[in-house]
Homo-oligomer: A and B are copies of this chain.
Amino acid sequence: MTAPRRDTYTPETLLSVAVAVFNERGYDGTSMEHLSKAAGISKSSIYHHVAGKEELLRRAVSRALDGLFAVLDEPGATHGPALARVEHVTRRMVEVLTAELPYVTLLLRVRGNTRTERWAMERRREFDQRVAELLKAAVADGDLRADVDTRLATRLVFGMVNSLVEWYRPQAGGGYDSTQVADAVVRLAFDGLRVPGARD
């Protein structure tokens, strides 16, 4: 990580440095001293921008959450049959996750010790709940199978999508782009890997 020049520091560059440090050391294991060293600016310069590390955490997870919740307001998520809406949301979740990888990684690793962490976990549950409702509506329409419990299906789809933070690295050699991964996730989750009619 290269430290930007002091006079070019903005809240955004500070945020991106902080997120990298939080993801590496864990939020609990990060001190203002660590942030100051990683950013190459003094602690008092950091305090000029934010009240403390919890504010940086709040801004970082907000960025991930805002990206995810915005998907639910897109026309593809609000119009048409529930099945098409849930497919749209699944695809866009992957795209937000790959575009905002460090921010979503931090969001998914948050465990509730501080108020901000508990708030982030609550918002995540709210998002998961909204997606579960879409899945449920598609089952009610007869478009998604009723023989897989909806809550369990939601967990598994999120498990698959969220696992991207463990291995997806943009532009890595032999890597996949965001669209390839989104296509594969939607294909696997809704149509499965089996060729229709293949022997069992």
Taking beta carbons and an 8 Å cutoff, which residues of A are in contact with B?
81, 83-84, 87, 135, 142-145, 147-149, 152-153, 155-164, 166-167, 176, 180-181, 183-185, 187-196, 198-200
Complex CA distance for A147 and B185, rounded to whole angstroms: 12
Across the interface, which residues of B come within 8 angstroms of A195, CB to CB?
A: 142-145
Judge whether B163 and A194 touch: CB under 8 Å: no
Residue of B nearest to A155 (CB): B167
Judge whether A156 and B147 touch: CB under 8 Å: no
Complex CA distance for A137 and B5, rounded to whole angstroms: 54
Complex CA distance for A166 and B200, rounded to whole angstroms: 30
A165 CB, min distance to chain B CBs, angstroms: 10
Across the interface, which residues of B come within 8 angstroms of A157, CB to CB?
A: 160, 188, 193
Pick from B142, B148, B187: contact of A147, CB under 8 Å: B187
Complex CA distance for A196 and B83, rounded to whole angstroms: 13
Seed contacts A148-B188, A152-B180; 17 additional CB < 8 Å A-B pairs = A81-B199, A83-B194, A83-B200, A143-B194, A143-B195, A144-B195, A145-B187, A145-B191, A145-B193, A149-B176, A153-B184, A156-B184, A158-B163, A159-B163, A189-B192, A190-B194, A192-B192
Across the interface, which residues of B come within 8 angstroms of A149, CB to CB?
A: 176, 180, 184
Residue of B nearest to A86 (CB): B193
